Copies of this chain bind each other. A is one copy, B any other.
Amino acid sequence: MKTEKISEAVVRRLPIYLRYLNSLAMKNVMTVSSQELGQKLDLNPAQIRKDLAYFGEFGKKGIGYDVGYLIEKIRQILKLDRHIPVALVGAGNLGRALCNYNIYLREEMKIVAVFDASPGKWGETMGNLTVQPMSELAETIRRLGVRIGIITVPAMEAQNVANSFVAAGIEAVLNFAPVIIKVPNEVRVHHADFTAELQSLAYYLD
């Protein structure tokens, strides 16, 4: 593996590759070329080869990439080869949807705890989990070794939740609330902002 800095754009494409490769593996396809990957994923084959080459020489000239081997490699790169516990705050409809989605996430990256601020939610079942009060957040996160936090609360409360996550030692946050949250530099935040996504779509209407 080279020590060159990997751009965010590259890292964002790796899960896309991984997902399609998994679907190939399920169909018992053994080998795939950058050409075919590019076609299926709407990407330039040269870009795919370059992306993968940042991390090693995974392909065979004249042949392509071994599907199983490439899956293994990308999983290592994304650190999906180890168990990564995730916690979620905000037991509304979206939180529920994500918890039920748990089955689709592989074993190694799973929501292991759900919290909500309102007493009415405590004890409620979401997926295979029970909603806990916020007061138990720090202790639970430490006990379960949670490393990633998901925020599905209203915009008003998102920053507070982020602060709690950071205080509890979480390393990365996926924020679904429609607001920009601030965290220390060493914590990574991704925004999943479907309102913005929808609004920017409108621009392209005639």
Do B195 and A190 touch (CB < 8 A)?
Answer: no
Stretch with Cβ within 8 A of B (4 or more), from A44-52, A86-94, A116-124, A129-137: A86-94
CA distance A178 to B18 in the complex (A): 11
Do B93 and A96 touch (CB < 8 A)?
Answer: yes
Do A19 and B204 touch (CB < 8 A)?
Answer: no
User: Which residue numbers of A lie inside 8 Å of B, CB to CB?
Assistant: 11-12, 14-16, 18-20, 40-42, 77-80, 84, 86, 92-94, 96-98, 100-101, 104-105, 109, 147-148, 150, 171-172, 174, 176, 178-180, 182, 188, 190, 192-206
Q: Which one of B11, B105, B178 lies within 8 Å of A195 (CB-CB)?
A: B105
For the complex formed by this chain, how many copies does it contain in all? 2
What are 7 A-B contacts with C-beta separation under 8 Å?
A15-B195, A15-B199, A19-B178, A78-B200, A79-B202, A101-B195, A192-B197
Do B202 and A18 touch (CB < 8 A)?
Answer: no
**A19 surroundings in chain B (CB, below 8 A):** 178-179, 195-196
A14 and chain B: residue at smallest CB distance: B200
Do A148 and B98 touch (CB < 8 A)?
Answer: no
Do A201 and B196 touch (CB < 8 A)?
Answer: no
CA distance A180 to B43 in the complex (A): 11
A127 and chain B: residue at smallest CB distance: B93
Q: Which one of B12, B104, B148, B202 lies within 8 Å of A80 (CB-CB)?
A: B202
Do A190 and B197 touch (CB < 8 A)?
Answer: yes
A176 and chain B: residue at smallest CB distance: B194
CA distance A198 to B174 in the complex (A): 7
